[in-house]
Amino acid sequence: MKRETWRLRLAAHRYGRKLKRSVSRGTSSDNSSASADQEPVATTTEKVINDNLVQHVVAVKMFSRTFPTSNVWVLHDGNEAALIDSGYGDKPSIDARREYFRKDWSGHNFKRIAMTHHHFDHSSGGRQLRDILKADTAIHPIDDALLHTPLGPEEGNEDLPDDKVITDRADVWKKEAFETPIDVMMEDGDTFKVGGLTVRAVHTPGHTAGHNCYLVEETMQLFTGDNILGVGTSAIGPPPSGNMGDYIESLKRMRELEAKLFAPGHGPTVTATAAKVQELLDHREVRDRQIIDIIDKGYDTDQQIRRALYPEIQKGLRRAAHGQVRSHIAKMVGQGIMQVDEIDDGKTWKVSLTK
Ligand SMILES: [Zn+2]
């Protein structure tokens, strides 16, 4: 759920800090009266997972606040390399990555930046990294369409807390994501090579309609995007942005791959892959059951259900929790378990169990 995603991002940041490797200053202003705290500072962290895989995280701090982080994975073999996801597209993040790739990867030929999905924490670095690395960009065609659909001021921020500093920053990320050109469409089963490694797209909708995981066939490592995170559970928005029913099916499909390692969109790698998938499937089943019980007790709108399910949630996370409740309800409507009447122009969902 979204609240957990946010908590996870903070956890991912703490995790990254332990691996701190180098600190680079972001955009610096010439105005000497500006306090150091107002200058964005990018902290670059790198973790070598194995002979073919490196995790790269940039955390940007400004106004005493650390922005959420996401993973960029460097898959490499011989002198060839590819990125899975492109991180954030703000200047401090890009400057930090430019420096990292120039210093540590100058002998490598970067062939591709394969994105798991269109959300700006995974795509907005794409345009600039494509230029820096001279690599082509790839994504599933459905998420290519979503990437290039302009977002309204309130859209696309569902994963973020209601916080002015962060939502202002999101405007930069949205613009960069929208302007990211995609060179190659990767549909289910499409592959590309990195040295002797074969990377196969596995279409796994749910978090977004065109979400791809990427399986490295020779090593059985799976890049899970936001379908499976290193810690916690991921946010599945209500339709049309997300689809809980598809998500459950995608988790089952990911289980069938029997991957040895999950490299997620946020947080650390997961080696107990089968247990992780089961944990997520169980979590969703428990939530379904809780919502049915709450409706049984007489609560009959989505807001009431949200309040009953998360009584103590802080204000900035309510919107996210609400989206999570709606996605579970929408799934159960699809299963014929409940029905919904929209009232107040769809602002409220009146929910009842089908008898
Ligand atoms: Zn994400």
Quote the CA–CA distance of 129 and 149 in Å, as a whole number. 21
Give distance in angstroms: CA of 221 to centre of ligand 1.
Answer: 19
Give distance in angstroms: CA of 268 to centre of ligand 1.
Answer: 13
Give distance in angstroms: CA of 236 to centre of ligand 1.
Answer: 11
pLDDT at 320: 83
Give distance in angstroms: CA of 229 to centre of ligand 1.
Answer: 9
Of 338, 302, 299, 314, give the one whose Cα is nearest residue 161. Answer: 314
Give distance in angstroms: CA of 109 to centre of ligand 1.
Answer: 26
pLDDT at 153: 66
Give distance in angstroms: CA of 158 to centre of ligand 1.
Answer: 11
CA dihedral for 9, 14, 19, 22, sign (positive or negative) = positive
Please calculate the CA angle 329-333-338 and round it to the nearest 5 degrees: 85
Give distance in angstroms: CA of 277 to centre of ligand 1.
Answer: 18
Quote the CA–CA distance of 200 and 290 in Å, as a whole number. 37
Give distance in angstroms: CA of 211 to centre of ligand 1.
Answer: 11
pLDDT at 240: 83
238: Cα within 13 Å, side-chain hemisphere: 19
pLDDT at 133: 98
Give distance in angstroms: CA of 234 to centre of ligand 1.
Answer: 8
**CATH number, span 2-286:** 3.60.15.10
pLDDT at 162: 64
Of 189, 91, 208, give the one whose Cα is nearest residue 149. Answer: 208
Give distance in angstroms: CA of 197 to centre of ligand 1.
Answer: 25
Quote the CA–CA distance of 199 and 219 in Å, as a whole number. 10
Give distance in angstroms: CA of 117 to centre of ligand 1.
Answer: 8
Q: What is the chain's percent helix, strand, coil content, to nearest 5?
A: 35, 25, 35
Give the amino acid at 35: S
Quote the CA–CA distance of 313 and 347 in Å, as a whole number. 20
Give distance in angstroms: CA of 84 to centre of ligand 1.
Answer: 12
Quote the CA–CA distance of 272 and 68 in Å, as a whole number. 25
The structural domains of the chain, with segments of one domain joined by +, span 2-286, 291-353
Which residues does 102 contact at the CB level (< 8 Å), separation at least 6?
none
Quote the CA–CA distance of 76 and 194 in Å, as a whole number. 6
Structural element, H or E, at residue 70: none
Give distance in angstroms: CA of 30 to centre of ligand 1.
Answer: 33
pLDDT at 167: 76
Give distance in angstroms: CA of 156 to centre of ligand 1.
Answer: 11
Quote the CA–CA distance of 57 and 44 in Å, as a whole number. 6
318-334 vs 2-18: helix crossing angle, rounded to 10: 120
Give distance in angstroms: CA of 220 to centre of ligand 1.
Answer: 22
Give distance in angstroms: CA of 40 to centre of ligand 1.
Answer: 21
From first to last of its 355 residues, the chain has per-residue pLDDT tens of 343 343 333 333 333 333 333 444 443 333 333 444 567 889 999 999 999 999 999 999 877 777 789 999 999 999 999 999 999 999 999 999 999 999 999 999 999 999 999 999 999 999 999 999 999 999 999 999 999 998 776 666 556 666 677 777 888 999 999 999 999 999 999 999 999 999 999 999 999 999 999 999 999 999 999 999 999 888 898 888 899 999 999 999 999 999 999 999 999 999 999 999 999 999 999 999 999 999 999 999 999 999 999 988 888 788 888 999 999 999 999 999 999 999 988 889 999 999 7
Quote the CA–CA distance of 215 and 202 in Å, as a whole number. 7
Give distance in angstroms: CA of 265 to centre of ligand 1.
Answer: 6
Per DSSP (E only), the strands in the chain are 20-25, 41-50, 53-62, 65-66, 72-77, 80-84, 109-114, 136-139, 184-185, 191-194, 197-203, 212-216, 221-225, 261-264, 338-343, 348-353
pLDDT at 269: 98
